[in-house]
Every structure is written in C-alpha cells, then in structure tokens.
Amino acid sequence: MMHSLISTRDIGRSKPVLLNDACTGCRSGTPLPIDITMAFQPIVDIRAGRVFAYEALVRGVAGETAGEILSSVSAEMVYKFDQACRVKAIELAGRLFAPQDDAKLSINFMPNAVYEPDACIRASLAAAKRVGFDPRRLMFEFTENERMDDVAHVQRIIDAYRARGFTTAIDDFGAGYAGLGLLADLRPDMLKLDMALIRGIDSSTSRQVIVAGVARIAEALGIRCIAEGIETSAELCTLRDLGISLCQGYLLARPVVASLPPFVIQAL
C-alpha cells in the first residue's frame, strides 16, 4: 500500500505527449529530488505456508520514508517517478527473487500516472529482460485517493496488463473511493482489503460481516482477497476463519529495504 500525496487533478494538468512511443513526462531531464530504493514486505498464503507475493514499497537511500519521498515529487515529475519506481523494484527483484520460485512482485501505481498502457510498460519490460525477471510474475496494485473520473482509462490499463499476463489488484478496498461500484466495473484479479476493515476485526461483528460479505462477492467474481495491515494473532485467526488465506502485515513481517524478510505465522 502506497498512499500518494500528489493530487491526481494536478497530474491531469501536466498531461504528457507521446513521441516516438515514449512519453515526454518519462523522458524529462529533470532529476528526481531523492535517490530511491525499495523495501519489500511479503503477502503470505497462511494456508500453504508460503509467500504469494512481495510488495515493493518506495524508500529513500538515505532513509527517507515513502511520505517524505512522495511529498517531494511535483506533478511534473510523477510520470518519471512512476517509471523509476517500477524499474527499481524490478531490478532489485531480479537480484533477490529465486528464479525457481513463483512469488509475484507487487508494484503500486496511480492510474493517472499511466498515460498509455503499452508505452508506459516498456521500461518495465526492458528492466525485466535485463535482469532475467519473468514479467508474468508482475502484479500491479492501483489505488485512488480521489474520485476516479475516468474508469474507462483504468479498464484499458487492466485489459492491457492482463493481456501481457500481469496480475492486477485494487488496493485499499473499503477506504476512500475504492468501493463496490469500482469492483463491478473493473473486475481485477485481486482485492486488497484496507487495514481500516482489518483493525480489531476479531472483536467487531460489523467488520466480520462486511469482510465475509466482500469475500463472498469476490469469490463469485473469481477475485482473490488479500487482507492487509494485520497486527495481531486474533486478527489473523479471525480472517482465517472468514476464509481469507492471503495476508499481509507487521504480524507476519515488516518491510525490509533491499532485502526479502522472512515471515513468521503466529500460532493460530
């Protein structure tokens, strides 16, 4: 999960131009204000006892947090920043991920930072080829902190990514504007349940009813749920009992910079 401090309205004002299959926003010579790296946090299949995916979370090489980095990225830099994050995550994954493993690499992006899906993915594909990372292991999480006005654009991104064998996910479901209408329109492969629904779910009947209902809807649509932000064994046990097997949170493992942290499944 990576919340953006950049307004999507501001991004729209600085819309780039596509020249020779490359976006002018990505080709800008303006350097990013902070050198970036990635921290990785596992998404664990608690039933299988293995990692389903590692989410890449942006960090600064001097220890800057995601919030500090995002607050320094102007609207004019957002396209280039999005590309730089993708490439850095893939380059590190090529070094850290075991080739024989099938764990996915989950990368966050804002839909409005993707100008044209096929053009914007080329740098990622080139990075994957360069480091020998199978692009079919890529999973893209999209989130919107403001109302998503151009759902058709997001659908084009999902369709283009699915055609290339990528996995797609709605992040922060149950928070902000990521609701049932968006789920019905977009039909992603994965649904990440926001931590606001998970926190204290063991003692909240309303949260249990909501999560169970969303899980049933997702299953009927052929979508898998991921519970994020799990911090207690009681939360994990409750989610398991509700049929959620893909889990992420500090209870299992904290993000680690430029490394794949081991996970621990607390006694259920």
- What pTM was computed for the model? 0.88
pLDDT at 249: 97
Q: pLDDT tens across 89-129, in order?
A: 999 999 999 988 899 999 998 777 776 888 889 999 999 99
Q: pLDDT tens across 173-199, in order?
A: 987 666 788 888 889 999 999 999 999
Report whether pLDDT(53) > 80.
yes
SS3 category, 96: helix
In the chain, the domains with their CATH numbers are 8-257 (3.20.20.450)
pLDDT at 8: 40
Run of H or E residues at 105 = strand 104-109
Range of lowest pLDDT (33-42, 70-79, 161-170, 205-214): 70-79
